[in-house]
Structure 1
Amino acid sequence: MSPARGGAPEGEQGGGTDEVEKVSGAERRGRGTWRHAAFHVATTIATPAAYAPLPFALASLGWPLGVCSLIIGTLVTWCSSLAVASLWQWNGHKHTSYRLLAKSIFALSSAAVVANFTWSDGKNLCFIQGHWGYWYVSFFQQVASVGNNIAIQIAAGSSLKAVYKHYYTADDGAMTLQQFILLFGAFELLFSQLPDIHSLRWVNAVCTASTIGFAGTAIGVTIYDGHRIDRKGVDYSLQGSTASKIFRAFNALGTIAFSFGDAMLPEIQSTVREPVRINMYKGVSTAYTVIIMSYWTLAFSGYWAFGSEVQPYILSSLTVPRWTIVMANLFAVIQITGCFQIYCRPTYAHFEEHIQAKNTGYNARLWRLIYTSAYMVVITLISAAMPFFADFVSVCGAVGFTPLDFVLPALAFLKAGKLPENPVLRSAVKAICCSVAVLFSMVGALACIGAIRAIAIDIKTYKFFHDM
């Protein structure tokens, strides 16, 4: 495994320094503290759109399987995040994006495989495998980013409409969900003019506070409503036919995968100051403390309160006191504002790279306004045209986040050669990594099937529109 530890020449490292460090000066230096990292990670993962559907996921799985799935998802993604963070500068270079990290790891690890080839053959094989990792991450990161932003924009529009309905009760002339989605898209376009993730640090500090506020408010109102309901009438059994139960369970697995989605860890880590690894470990662990306290409590209390009748977006199940529901919805919109911005950045980075390559003297602000406007128009129109929140959450978790947050970290950790020297521990780590990669590849496939079926049913019946 020696080549994987950084002994290969620069030309074999999947692109060299020019590609590895294609990043702004502010991010290359890294100015953020571990607290800033915690803000970014918590904002990226613990969005209300991520854990508001968790009670519904538990209702689709039942208590035993639902609780086990939630605990396993937490532990696996926390360990995966630490594993990805440990690969910062693992071969002597700063990998400032997920796709460049994957490109470097899979290219370098190929050097050992092709040791007996000619120089030309070995170099070409390393190049191909390195680019396989690069495009694998690029594709799934874009799927995760776009899918996440569609889902959370629908959630933000739903929360804004809920606040609006509290103050405007008349049916005539009332604003629609689609109009609130358009308003939120215009608001996000303004924030998109900020240059990088580090410039969002104080926005994300407010968003992290809103995460805690949303969780505390939603949990409190859920428990309050749960005590008001006749407990004898709450049903916890799985609903529907056998086929319906199975597909709903598949769909729920995608929802849980979405709730732990974090396809931006290297991008966040590139903004952190030295010592980068230690600061990132502290930031990730702090963020997961917030996640565990909010996710588990809301998931369990929501399912306990409403049973199998709980709505895909937990706030839709709450009734009184109304002012606290308004407050929870406002917290949700604030938090989603920051989360949306972080997930825009991989797409914006692609635009910037192509523009910079073709136009050395381009007007940065003008071009930024053009491509951010194009992005926001596309995302907003899709969100307004197909506002199936629960279904988009599941399909995004299955197709986008499962490969990036469960499968790839395990494979990258093995490829990078970051294994214990002790033979027993080494074998155990290999077995765990391989098991995680195989198991969650299957989970992603099943969740995708369940999500696609749910979208087809919702389009056919227009159930979502009647509910709104």
Structure 2
Amino acid sequence: MVTGGQALKKFHDVVCHDCKSIKLTYFIMIFASVHFVLSQLPNFNSISGVSLAAAVMSLSYSTIAWGASVDKGRIEDVQYGYKSPCTGGTVFSFFGALGDVAFAYAGHSVVLEIQASFSSTPEKPSKKPLWKGVVFAYILVALCYFPVALVGYWAFGNAVDDNILVTLNNPRWLIAIANMMVVVHVIGSYQIYAMPVFDMMETVLVKKLNFPPGILLRLIARSLYVAFTMFVAVTFPFFGGLLGFFGGFACAPTTYFLPCMIWLSIYKPRKYSFSWIANWICIALGLILMILTSIGGLRQIIIKAKDCKFYS
């Protein structure tokens, strides 16, 4: 929600730089309006086209981001040191950055949904094609993100924005296109992240609370969820802080220690064997990561909130 709103605002400001400024809140609401419609799509198969478009856009705008940074070159008096004047601030910023990494390279619960749709037999288990897909996905993500990180830092140092496309302004037409690519990407991302939540909500409402299944339930439940996320976004439109907080609080468990706990409970490896020790190390590190990154991200949100004029 926040990223989509920021990208729409940047597109407006680049294309119509002489126009009257419009609040970020309104752009987030415009972005949310798309999801009130798309959230009514019934399942993962129905959003496959949106997902494909999002993947193509991600590769495209990340290439534009580092390419435009190379074209711009290093800014005058570029600084590569720590932004925080004190050690404590630097340490907490480090925790927040770990949350960013956890978010960027998270193994989301969507992976389990995808694997569940694969046909699996003892001769051809689903884990083989899924493993190839995961390896390909992580390589592709690395090819997208690492050039942006390295070239962006070289060009702007510690003055770079959380979203590098907000920092860039020229060539104007290319930056405008790149920001619209971001909008398409996060439209797809939102739906992919939200679909398991929709499924969980509707399952609870039908099985536990005895709501009748159907279009009306889907319309009300999913619309309320979209409205809630829109409200959170317009209240706390802090890209970096939210990324770090949710990277630790939401993505670290599904990536770093819950899979290990599932493995231990199902396969029950021999105590103090290599598998047993390796999994418990991952669980311990994952818990530490979740706690520290959540603290770092929450601190960034609080710091930004102190100087922020809400709903502006």
* TM-score, L = length of structure 2: 0.90
Q: Which residue of 2 aligns with 1:30?
A: none
Q: Which residue of 2 aligns with 1:438?
A: 284
Q: Which residue of 2 aligns with 1:348?
A: 198
1:359–1:397 distance in 2 versus 1, CA, 3 Å: closer
- Whether 1:235 aligns to 2:79 is yes
For residue 254 of structure 1, the aligned residue among 99, 110, 120 is 99
For 1:207, what is the secondary structure of its paired residue? Answer: helix
What is the correspondence of 1:61-140 to structure 2 with a 5 Å cutoff? none
1:238–1:228 distance in 2 versus 1, CA, 3 Å: closer
- Aligned partners of 2:62 and 2:148 also within 8 Å: yes
- Aligned partners of 1:318 and 1:325 also within 8 Å: yes
What is the correspondence of 1:262-341 to structure 2 with a 5 Å cutoff? 262-274=108-120, 275=124, 276-341=126-191
Return the letter of the residue paired with 1:263. S
- Aligned partners of 1:197 and 1:271 also within 8 Å: no
Deviation readout 1:38-90 (Å, 9 max, x if unpaired): xxxxxxxxxxxxxxxxxxxxxxxxxxxxxxxxxxxxxxxxxxxxxxxxxxxxx
Task: Give, in angstroms, the shift of residue 385 of structure 1.
Answer: 1.7
Q: Which residue of 1 aligns with 2:8?
A: 160
For 1:416, what is the secondary structure of its paired residue? Answer: helix
1:361–1:350 distance in 2 versus 1, CA, 3 Å: closer
Task: Give, in angstroms, the shift of residue 258 of structure 1.
Answer: 1.3
- Aligned partners of 1:458 and 1:464 also within 8 Å: no
Task: Give, in angstroms, the shift of residue 218 of structure 1.
Answer: 1.2
Q: Which residue of 1 aligns with 2:219?
A: 369
Q: In 2, distance between residues paired with 1:215 and 1:457?
A: 28
1:273–1:190 distance in 2 versus 1, CA, 3 Å: farther
1:362–1:452 distance in 2 versus 1, CA, 3 Å: closer
Return the letter of the residue paired with 2:306. K
- Aligned partners of 1:156 and 1:333 also within 8 Å: yes
Number of aligned residue pairs = 306
Return the letter of the residue paired with 2:114. I
Q: In 2, distance between residues paired with 1:412 and 1:204?
A: 28
1:359–1:454 distance in 2 versus 1, CA, 3 Å: closer
Deviation readout 1:1-58 (Å, 9 max, x if unpaired): xxxxxxxxxxxxxxxxxxxxxxxxxxxxxxxxxxxxxxxxxxxxxxxxxxxxxxxxxx
1:454–1:256 distance in 2 versus 1, CA, 3 Å: same
Q: In 2, distance between residues paired with 1:358 and 1:450?
A: 36
For 1:235, what is the secondary structure of its paired residue? Answer: coil
1:349–1:320 distance in 2 versus 1, CA, 3 Å: same
For residue 90 of structure 2, the aligned residue among 230, 237, 245 is 245
Q: In 1, distance between residues paired with 2:199 and 2:144?
A: 31
Q: In 2, distance between residues paired with 1:365 and 1:318?
A: 44
1:418–1:322 distance in 2 versus 1, CA, 3 Å: farther
Deviation readout 1:369-423 (Å, 9 max, x if unpaired): 111111111111111122111111111011111111111122222332286x9x9
Q: Considering only aligned residues, what root-mean-square deviation do their CA atoms show, in Å?
A: 2.4
Percent of paired sites with the same residue? 28
Task: Give, in angstroms, the shift of residue 356 of structure 1.
Answer: 3.3
What is the correspondence of 1:389-468 to structure 2 with a 5 Å cutoff? 389-417=239-267, 427-462=273-308
Q: In 2, distance between residues paired with 1:182 and 1:269?
A: 34
* TM-score, L = length of structure 1: 0.61
- Aligned partners of 2:248 and 2:290 also within 8 Å: yes
Deviation readout 1:154-206 (Å, 9 max, x if unpaired): 0010001111112222353x322111111111101111111111221122111
Return the letter of the residue paired with 2:179. N
Q: In 1, distance between residues paired with 2:273 and 2:264?
A: 11
Q: In 1, distance between residues paired with 2:139 and 2:268?
A: 26
Return the letter of the residue paired with 1:441. L
Q: In 2, distance between residues paired with 1:186 and 1:431?
A: 48
Return the letter of the residue paired with 1:436. C
Deviation readout 1:334-379 (Å, 9 max, x if unpaired): 1111110111122211232134337989461122111111111111
Q: Which residue of 2 aligns with 1:221?
A: 68
Q: In 2, distance between residues paired with 1:439 and 1:361?
A: 41
Consecutive unaligned residues in structure 1, runs of 5 or more: 1-152
For 2:267, what is the secondary structure of its paired residue? Answer: coil
Q: In 2, distance between residues paired with 1:206 and 1:351?
A: 27
Return the letter of the residue paired with 1:244. G
Task: Give, in angstroms, the shift of residue 427 of structure 1.
Answer: 3.3
- Aligned partners of 1:407 and 1:441 also within 8 Å: yes
